[in-house]
Structure 1
């Protein structure tokens, strides 16, 4: 490894955002890093913008390829990465100038295989901070990873993103860890499941350096094109890496997956019933009906209620009761009321 860090950036028609992204990456306070841009068949001016920056910035590497999807683009970048650690940035997003210096310093201080940080997302005009319930600023051993982090991946999708972390490249290469090429959604989770099952030392720092920007392709605006619920079902019914089963018993894995599925369904109910979603109202209602009646949801719901009832707020309990009773009208009314209350709070 002849660099401290390699940052892989897949690019597809990112012209409106790529300059902001590149400026934030080129201003990093960390010394000795490389930027690997993989232009995945863009038809706009993304390639020429990157090339204009490349002329005066030697750390920029540009690969042009036919459109093959974000996973293949990231894997192409991984194959070229010469850094001791690897990070990922989406071309629509940007980062704080000290982000990678902070993450790299934390990794080196604890000889960590991976460092996790918070991220900020912009959704419907509001800024949301995603943080985690892990021990902070301390080295998490393999036992800690097994107890705190591995179950979290199975219970929630909040930790899935590869973009607010850095990974030891040696582990990626040793175990041939890549992003799945034929998965339409959730490719980050699969990458993380494999990496964290091999990681021996990790650290979570309570720092927010990554800024995710909502675009036209984001979940709340793209419900008619991507079947998020079907992907959640695939995750629920899929087998976890065999290394996971060596660390967590099978009954617990199924319990965690049930919690995750119901979390997803509750979130998707709000997404699909959002008035701005690009689907006819009748189609949205039918989609929600199919979710709450799905056999896997019916199987997971009692497990979720049994395990999570103490942690639930009043609104969540009502929504889950209505899901259990298969009351589509009740679900529509309570989510509409929730949106009204939230608008008053934000307003």
Structure 2
């Protein structure tokens, strides 16, 4: 590993950017960061063993702007790359950007301005897919400071129950909290490392705020979701998450009676999402492959046990469509699920 460093003095924000084989998008990402209205930033790029021209792009930019530092390391995964960036970060706050995304000029200035008496700042983000942009917001109060008790009681459970707010790329974190509590990204988990980092941080944060603002642009690269479906068994990963123990801070903050239903809801809803994904027209499998995968998924005894419990816990809150899905899953009907999800997808496209 070798590093090129920025000049001395503590910046307001350190931005950590893991980089792996994103040469086509990297210049746009770097340009968006160098154009930030908050000039007092450092940008720490961690080249995680890229096999394309990322290293050359990074070094070319590094010599042009002293705020850029570059860490080159052997390929170790996104968590290890972010941890290397965290270890090098000197800022009052830390933010994260993925190398195929980009930031509005005012992003870090807006987040930093809101962070005066907060340890964590949330914002929405813009999602780009198929040429369309959509604003994505989390289910939190906006514009109101949330104290430590509120963060633990109301915000933390959202991260336990759902992956929807996991990303670290639309947030700002006070570095002092990270350092004082030895927080890092877990390198031994297959899924949800962002969520685990957020959960642990929330257990220590003294205050936070969610902004009615979206200045982070997430790029869904063409075909990436379908390529991942070929190489990653997402149900096996969600099953692993369901069976794994949450960090000690989280289990201490939430009693077991509250924690178990949250994990259960996440597991069942992940299974539903995976079935939708596999049965989508863009997934590169034959119908027989999709059918066999979903049939095997429905045969998992832990899922069947979870479905029964989920039905009991959420009977009064489920809509008609969800009721049908749960019933078909309990009946182990891959064909029925295919028909229902195809109808739903056709309606949503229409």
Q: How does the TM-score come out when normalised to structure 2?
A: 0.93
Which of 198, 206, 214 aligns to 2:212? It is 206
Question: Match for 1:37 among 42, 45, 62?
Answer: 45
**Residue in 2 aligned with 1:331?**
337
**1:265-284 alignment to 2 at 5 Å?**
265-284=271-290
Structure 1 Cα separation of the partners of residues 289 and 130 of structure 2: 22
Answer yes or no: is the 8 Å Cα contact 1:216–1:222 preserved in 2. Answer: no
CA distance in structure 2 between the aligned counterparts of 1:222 and 1:228, rounded to whole angstroms: 9
**Pair 138,128 (structure 1): closer, same or farther in 2 beyond 3 Å:** same
Q: Quote the residue 1:299 is aligned against.
A: 305
1:135 aligns with 2:141: yes
Report deviation, 1:124: 4.8
Match of 1:56 in 2: 64
Distance 1:123 1:302, change over 3 A: farther
Aligned residues of 1:186 and 1:231 also touching (Cα < 8 A)? no
Instruction: Give the root-mean-square deviation of aligned CA atoms.
Output: 1.7
1:182 matched to 2:183: no
For 1:170, which of 163, 166, 176 is the aligned residue? Answer: 176
Say whether 1:114 aligns with 2:143.
no
Paired residue secondary structure (1:210): strand
User: Structure 1 residues 165, 141: CA separation in 2 closer, same or farther (over 3 Å shift)?
Assistant: same
Q: 302-311 vs 219-228, which deviates more?
A: 302-311
Q: Secondary structure at the match of 2:283?
A: coil
Summarize the alignment of residues 46-125 of structure 1 with structure 2, pairs less than 5 Å apart.
46-108=54-116, 111-125=117-131
Report the number of matched residues.
342
Q: 1:306 to 1:128 in 2, by over 3 A?
A: farther
Contact 2:291 2:335 in 1 (8 A): no
- Matching residue of 2:202: 196
> Per-residue CA shift, 1:294-332, capped at 9, x if unaligned?
222222223333333444333222222211222111100
- Once the two structures are TM-superposed, the CA of residue 125 in structure 1 deviates from its matched residue by 4.9
Contact 1:223 1:279 in 2 (8 A): no
SS in structure 1 opposite 2:146?
strand
| Whole-angstrom CA distance in 2 between matches of 1:333 and 1:129 | 30
2:5 maps to none
Residues 166 and 194, structure 2, Cα contact 8 Å, conserved in 1: yes
Q: State the distance in 1 between where 2:128 and 2:322 align.
A: 23
In structure 2, stretches of 5+ residues that fail to align are 1-8
CA distance in 2, matches of 1:291, 1:129: 33
Who is 2:267 aligned against? 261
Measure the CA separation in 1 of the matches of 2:41 and 2:142. 26
Alignment partner of 1:118: what SS? strand
Q: Distance in 2 between matches of 1:241 and 1:36?
A: 27
Question: Is the CA contact 1:8–1:78 (under 8 Å) kept in the aligned structure 2?
Answer: yes
Which aligned pairs between 1:214-229 and structure 2 lie closer than 5 A?
Answer: 214-215=220-221, 218-229=224-235
Structure 1 gaps of 5+ residues are none
Give the alignment's TM-score, normalised by structure 1. 0.94
Residue 245 of structure 1 deviates from its aligned partner by 2.4
Report the equivalent of 1:23.
Answer: 31
Higher alpha-carbon deviation: 183-192 or 328-337: 183-192
